Structure 1
Amino acid sequence: MSETTREMCYIFPNGDKYEGECCRTSNGVVMRKGFGTQTSVSGVTYTGEWDNDTMNGSGTLKHPSGTIYTGLFRDNMYHGKGIYKFPDGTEYNGTFNNNRLEGDGEFTDLQGLVWTGTFHNKAALGLKLKVNM
């Protein structure tokens, strides 16, 4: 694959739009690589790093619902450290594994209380209230 990146703006057949860096493979295929922004026709926007034509590296994914994820991506999935802000104002700050909460993290509830512990999927047994003194 050629390592020369170029800036481009591309509108996909479904109406999605990509603006950012890309490269051309040895067989002539243009792929997203580097930094760029993709906006879907449904209003989902990703701004961040791309590699191998997928979201890979640091970035921010915003949904029309108000949900925002900022953190690390691997193969189009939340993977590594990140912050997931829910539309209702609650927030998870911690580790993700293939789009799932996984490992140590903090959850901030609607009252602003911070709960810490180990998360696994949708479960977090033994959460402790973080007290700021």
Structure 2
Amino acid sequence: MENVSCGVSELIQISFVFPNGDTYEGECRRSATGALERSGIGVNRSPHGVTYTGSWKNDRMYGLGKLEHPSGAVYEGEFIDNKFHGRGTYTFPNGAQYIGNFTENKMIGEGEYVDANGLHWKGAFHDKAAPGLKLRLKM
């Protein structure tokens, strides 16, 4: 990246390998201090199989994106400062899903849980607890 020159607000396409082995392909911009930061749309892959595809702002996952883990777990939705924050869907390795709101990586508020058997549960979530979930019956 040393030979790349761009203005503070100008987006450029890059392909970069970080010292930890992560790779990034996508848009970046130069910060006010002169450092290149992931900004715009891009794909970041870790050597351990974690892949993030989506929006970046100030070198952080920000906006809409998809985070995939080698275990099969996938989060697709809104991010703020590298955290699940806003509306999203988290798919667990066993295929179960939570669809709803997230606050700083936690399931918070109204949401729906679809268990591994395909049953739909609705209710209020408080991180890992969801007292009073109701089974949604299909008639």
TM-score range (shorter-chain normalised) is over 0.9
Which residue does the alignment assign to 1:34?
A: 40
Give the C-alpha shift of residue 131 in structure 1: 1.8
Alignment partner of 2:102 out of 96, 107, 126:
96
| Alignment size in residue pairs | 133
The CA distance in 2 between the partners of 1:27 and 1:87, in whole Å, is 41
SS at match of 1:87: coil
- Cα shift at 1:75: 0.4
Contiguous gaps of at least 5 residues in structure 2: 1-6
TM-score (ref. length: structure 1): 0.97
**Equivalent of 2:113 in 100, 104, 107:** 107
Instruction: Give 2:22's aligned residue.
Output: 16
Among the aligned pairs, what percent are the same residue? 50
| Aligned-partner Cα distance in 1 for 2:108–2:136 | 19
C-alpha deviation, 1:27, in angstroms = 2.2
> Shift of the alpha carbon at 1:14?
1.0
Residues 20-44 of structure 1 show CA distances to partners (whole Å, capped at 9, x for unaligned) of: 0000123210000000000001110
Return 5+ residue gaps in structure 1 as ranges.
none
- The one-letter code of the counterpart of 2:10 is T
CA RMSD after TM alignment: 1.0
Deviation of residue 132 (structure 1)?
2.4
1:2 to 8, 25, 32: 8
| Distance in 2 (alpha carbons) for counterparts of 1:112 and 1:85 | 13
Give the 5 Å matches for 1:17-96: 17-96=23-102
Deviation at 1:79, TM superposition (A): 0.3
